[in-house]
């Protein structure tokens, strides 16, 4: 069932996981339209992120929503005190895409970092692995007992990742 942006939830989650990884961002898209759609998706997700910074927040509110009190004291610079320029999700996403490809870049973009952690964190449960083994038993039936390892792997991945196909 497509979500409000017209994407299947699996595809939407995979896109957000890839786009928030600084090494990939939108570099792997060949069409400009897809890059813009990914930027819009990340901007929308930043706006709706729980605990996110609301559009129009000052630089101090932006830093306060992300930093602990010890970090605020240590990283308090005089030039930030007078800066009341509004930061919103759109400028955060634009600045994120212009930044470097190191993972440490995420510390400057709190909403993007929250999304990165949400979509790129391993599940601490064995349920997905059990689901994969269950699908394996559906693929490797007694009639298919002579499948090569490579063909079995392809069939299993096709079955498990069916939500990514265009149908």
Q: What is the pLDDT of residue 151?
A: 92
| Residues whose CB falls within 8 Å of the CB of residue 92, separated by 6 or more in sequence, listed in order | 46, 53, 109, 111, 112
Assign 78 a pLDDT band (cuts: 50, 70, 90).
Answer: very low
Residue whose structure tokens are 């010890």: 70
Tokens 């929503």 correspond to: 65
Query: 23 in helix, strand or coil?
Result: coil
Mean of all residue pLDDT scores within the chain: 77
Assess contact for 22 and 99: CB atoms under 8 A: yes
Q: CB–CB of 96/105 below 8 Å?
A: yes
Whether 62 has a pLDDT exceeding 80, the answer reads no
Q: Are 89 and 60 in contact (CB under 8 A)?
A: no
In the block, tokens 């990340």 appear at 42
Q: What is the pLDDT of residue 99?
A: 92
CB within 8 Å of 28: residues ≥ 6 apart: 18
> For residues 67 and 10, which has the higher predicted lDDT (pLDDT)?
10
Longest alpha-carbon distance in the chain: 73
The pTM is what? 0.58
Q: What is the pLDDT of residues 12-26, one digit of tens each?
A: 888 999 999 999 999
pLDDT at 61 over 60: no
Upper half-sphere CA count for residue 86 (Cβ side, 13 Å): 7
Q: What is the pLDDT of residue 85?
A: 26
CA 73 – CA 47 distance, rounded (Å): 27
Are 17 and 120 a contacting pair, CB within 8 Å? yes
pLDDT given at position 71: 52
Q: Looking at residue 82, what is its pLDDT?
A: 31
80-109: pLDDT as tens digits: 433 322 358 889 999 999 999 999 999 999
Angle at 165 between CA 162 and CA 167, to 5 degrees: 105
Query: What are 56's two structure tokens?
Result: 């129009």
């Amino acid at each position: 069932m497509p979500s409000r942006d017209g994407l299947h939830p699996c595809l939407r989650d995979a896109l957000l996981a890839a786009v928030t990884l600084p090494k990939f961002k939108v570099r792997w898209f060949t069409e400009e339209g897809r890059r813009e759609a990914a930027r819009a998706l990340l901007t929308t997700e930043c706006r709706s992120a729980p605990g996110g910074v609301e559009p129009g927040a000052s630089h101090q509110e932006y830093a306060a929503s992300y930093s602990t009190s010890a970090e605020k004291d240590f990283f308090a610079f005089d030039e930030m005190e007078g800066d009341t320029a509004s930061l919103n999700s759109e400028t955060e996403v634009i600045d994120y895409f212009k930044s470097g490809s190191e993972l440490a870049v995420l510390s400057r973009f709190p909403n993007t970092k929250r999304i990165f952690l949400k979509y790129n964190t391993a599940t601490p449960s064995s349920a997905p692995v059990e689901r994969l083994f269950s699908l394996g038993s559906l693929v490797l039936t007694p009639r298919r007992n002579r499948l090569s390892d490579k063909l079995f792997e392809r069939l299993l991945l096709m079955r498990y990742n069916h939500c990514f196909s265009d149908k």
